[in-house]
Amino acid sequence: MISIGIIGGTGYTGKWLVDFCSNHPFIEEINVYGKESAGKFLLDIFPELNNEVENAQIKSISELSFDQDVYFIALPHGESLKYVPTLYNAGKIIIDLGGDYRLNNSVEYEQWYNYKHTSPELLNEKIYGLADYFQAYDQDKRIIANPGCYPTAILLAALPIVENFSENIQTISVSAYSGTSGAGKSVKQELMMSEMFGNVRAYKLNKHQHQPEILQQLRSAGLNSPFSFATHLLPVSTGIYATSFIHLINNVSEGEIKEIYKAQYENSMFVRLRKDPPKLNHVANTNYCDINISVKDKVVIITSAIDNLVKGAAGQAVQNLNKYYGWDETMSIKKYGVGVV
């Protein structure tokens, strides 16, 4: 049995972490830490969790205890830097849902995130937690960098073809769409219902902070070709939908590509290979990533869909916890199963 600390447990992803951890058979204690919410009770903030979680009082981050075994950090970019080094030096296991430890290079981090990285020596001490793709985790590394929502949807879709056909890839371009909850709970005019209803718009073109994270993993898999990435907002609360366009130098049959994906994900509990392009409502409130592959001549189009708050954040974080300890990866995440549907 282990104890858990959730730092920043009152945001959108924090709610899912509280829910998942409260239903985990190997977690005996949960402490939630907040700033403005300190002193309040969980069910005052999340009344929908009544009868699902214990109505514990939220503790102040300024009084962070080092008594827990594992700490989830669900804070805005730049904030994890204040806590990870101290927790790491205290011997704790850290699962960071933010972007502060995902990149391997502190200079690149500073260019894309506009924060100075204050613990670059820890970037090599992390596990990049793309749970459905990477197998065994190094137990000597105690920082798990939980992937971003866009990277999760795009990398699960693109990595198998990159690893197997990198020399045959001419270009990869991705058009991806997100629900507004990806921006967190902060009030922003451009995310208001009256602004987004019936509307779609591109944002952060050529400067989205997830771009170097995606490219880092694709390069590690062997990609030497140009890559482009465009992000858009949808008039929905949750979800990520990504369409990856992969242009090949020489033809490859659809059957050959699908066999590679089937072999890659045959043991994954949360990747489903769809016969038709996925729909957001098929993955909403689940830890699934649904993928469809279409090939014509030298063009491969791969569509993928996830829930950004679950698979793109809290669900994968708990999956990483399970994976780190060698437990059943589906434990407490509630949805499970795999196959072509």
Active site residues: 149
Closest CA to 243 of 253, 235, 254, 232: 232
Residue 30: C-alpha distances to residues 14, 60, 133, 148 (Å) = 12, 14, 28, 24
Give the residues across from 73 on adjacent strands: 7, 96
Q: Any idea which residue has 């994270």 for tokens?
A: 213
Tokens of 19: 């829910």
Tell me the backbone φ, ψ of residue 337, rounded to 5 degrees: 120, 165
Helix (H) or strand (E) holding 28: strand 27-34
Tokens of 6: 């959730």
Nearest-5° angle of CA 247, CA 129, CA 66?
155
**Alpha helices (runs of H) in 284-314, residue ranges in sequence order:** none
Looking at residue 196, its amino acid is: M
**Three-state DSSP class for 292?**
strand
Rounded distance between C-alpha atoms, residue 24 and residue 14, angstroms:
15
Q: Length of the chain in residues, anyone? A: 341
E strand spans, 234-278: 240-248, 271-273
Q: DSSP state, 94?
A: E
Closest CA to 74 of 139, 148, 22, 137: 148
Question: By the 8 A CB rule, do 310 and 287 touch?
Answer: yes
